[in-house]
Amino acid sequence: MSIQSLSIPYLIPDMPSADEVMPFLREIDSNRWYTNSGPLLNRLKEQIGEVHFAGMQVSTLLCSSGTAALELGLACLNLKPGARVLVPAFTFPASANAIENCGFEPVFCDVDEASWVLTPDIALEAITQARIDAVMPVAALGRPLPVDQWDHFCETTGLPVLIDAAPALGNQGVGKRFHVAYSLHATKAFGIGEGGVLASQDVALIDLARRMSNFGIGPDTQVVCRGINAKLSEYHAAVGLAQIERWPERQLRRARIDAAYRASMKLHSHLWSTQSFDDQFSASNVLVPLPVRHNRSTMPVRLNPRLKTSVQNAQEQLASLGIGTRLWYNPGLHRHPHWAGARQVARLGQSTLVTVDGLNARIIGLPFHNFLTLQNIDYIVRSLCQIVENREYSASLN
């Protein structure tokens, strides 16, 4: 079913209008500078630092995509060809794509049942079972990872860590010892169409990544390292500058939609649970939201495993009611044909990545974007509550 055929699409990007971008396009016309670290790009980098990394001693590189940010970050870790990079199977394919594109081997692991992410404890288990040369934790669905814990992991193990925080700009902090890659894709909370950010407190690493993003060319126009073309154009920077002016209002809108979902879930809890709704995690027996985060970028919910309704069935029934959904990170990367023979490291005492498989069987993403109305949200929640309880539901969409 296409987005156009759904009454409530899963996602509608919230991008600046042509009128909002036009003043910056006129600057490009006046400057006659279209790429190669132009004035708009430098201004956007400064403003992203002020808005998203305030109070942190962080250096950043803006590049052509979130995947490019991952690849540049990996390429700067001084790993040998064929190095093994531990990555959770509960993530978007770009995580493993970037590892392979750099000539390294992804090693898939499980995630924590409560937080849905690769934790330092899981990584410590993994390195006792297999040779691991680097770790790529993922800020799954925008959930920030603990800065102090990952800094401690780097310090005690000596392993380099690059966090894939594609949807978590504004949520995920940057540690003293690890590095972070973000996406600026149109679907992200802060989207500019296409783009990425590599952030680190290691100034030398960012300087190397900057040279690599421009064919490996150094200050004297000589090639000093291997490189690619991953520069961000002035046109994308123009969209970014228009977008950053809208950031406070857009985040307030997202917070209100998040609150509206939670209020609706609590209001309709009598339809699907005898227990009260718990904002923190899982008092309900049927519908469990991801724990509270800083700035929500998605609305994933977890169906109770005791329910007979599968996520696939729930998705089909919601689509029949005009509601778009997404089965996040489903299947896990270890179940994709391309990675069928990839190396895996299960939790101690387990033979498979049981948590990822369990999450794939239970998580469904509900619509979450700035164009939802309160009536939309109430209709979505009531519809899902009825579906998971296998009750007939005939309410109309308001």
Whether residue 224 is found in the same domain as residue 320: no
143 is a domain residue: yes
9 is a domain residue: no
Whether residue 235 is found in the same domain as residue 319: no
The structure tokens 């400064």 sit at 46
Chain-centroid distance of CA 295 in Å reads: 12
Number of domains within the chain = 2
Task: Compute how many other C-beta atoms are within 10 angstroms of the C-beta atom of residue 135.
Answer: 29
Among candidate residues 216, 242, 268, the one where a domain is terminated: 242
Whether residue 212 is found in the same domain as residue 116: yes
Range of the domain at 327: 247-388
Whether residue 99 is found in the same domain as residue 156: yes
- Nearest CA to 60 out of 180, 211, 192 is that of 180
Beta bridge partners of 353: none
Whether residue 211 is found in the same domain as residue 308: no
pLDDT the model gives residue 33: 97
AA identity, residue 60: T
Whether residue 207 is found in the same domain as residue 222: yes
pLDDT the model gives residue 71: 98
8 is a domain residue: no
Using only C-alpha atoms, the chain has a radius of gyration, in whole angstroms, of 22
- Each residue's pLDDT expressed in tens, for the chain with a length of 398 residues: 444 456 999 999 999 999 999 999 999 999 999 999 999 999 999 999 999 998 889 999 999 999 999 999 999 999 999 999 999 999 999 999 999 999 999 999 999 998 899 999 999 999 999 999 999 999 999 989 999 999 999 999 999 999 999 999 989 999 999 999 999 999 999 999 999 999 999 999 999 999 999 999 998 899 999 999 999 999 999 999 999 999 999 999 999 999 999 889 888 766 554 333 333 333 344 566 555 556 788 999 888 777 777 899 999 999 999 999 999 999 999 999 999 999 999 999 999 999 999 999 989 999 999 999 999 999 999 999 888 876 443 332 22
CATH number of the domain residue 372 falls in: 3.90.1150.10
Question: Cβ(74)–Cβ(85) under 8 Å?
Answer: yes
Whether residue 200 is found in the same domain as residue 106: yes
Strand ranges inside the chain, DSSP E = 59-63, 84-88, 105-109, 134-135, 162-164, 179-183, 196-200, 287-289, 299-303, 344-345, 363-366
4 is a domain residue: no
Instruction: At 128, list the tokens.
Output: 């006792």
Chain-centroid distance of CA 387 in Å reads: 28
- Using a 10 angstrom Cβ sphere, with 0-12 exposed, 13-18 middle and 19 or more buried, the burial of residue 199 is buried
CATH number of the domain residue 80 falls in: 3.40.640.10
Among candidate residues 207, 227, 242, the one where a domain is terminated: 242
Give the span between the Cα atoms of 219 and 222, in whole angstroms.
7
Give the span between the Cα atoms of 189 and 4, in whole angstroms.
22
Question: Cβ(227)–Cβ(63) under 8 Å?
Answer: no
User: What does each C-alpha distance from 332 to 83, 89, 109, 143, 335 come to in angstroms?
Assistant: 22, 5, 10, 18, 5
Question: Cβ(213)–Cβ(72) under 8 Å?
Answer: yes
pLDDT the model gives residue 292: 57
Give the span between the Cα atoms of 266 and 264, in whole angstroms.
5
Whether residue 193 is found in the same domain as residue 272: no
pLDDT the model gives residue 265: 85
pLDDT the model gives residue 196: 98
pTM here is: 0.92
Question: Cβ(106)–Cβ(339) under 8 Å?
Answer: yes
pLDDT the model gives residue 271: 55
Among candidate residues 187, 210, 242, the one where a domain is terminated: 242
307 is a domain residue: yes
AA identity, residue 236: H
Secondary structure (3-state) at 196: strand
Whether residue 58 is found in the same domain as residue 101: yes
Whether residue 262 is found in the same domain as residue 197: no
396 is a domain residue: no
Whether residue 256 is found in the same domain as residue 234: no
204 is a domain residue: yes
Whether residue 232 is found in the same domain as residue 318: no
397 is a domain residue: no
Chain-centroid distance of CA 127 in Å reads: 25
Do β-strands 299-303 and 363-366 pair in parallel, antiparallel, or remain unpaired? antiparallel
- Using a 10 angstrom Cβ sphere, with 0-12 exposed, 13-18 middle and 19 or more buried, the burial of residue 175 is buried
Angle (nearest 5°) at CA 177 between 173 and 182: 40
The structure tokens 């055929």 sit at 5
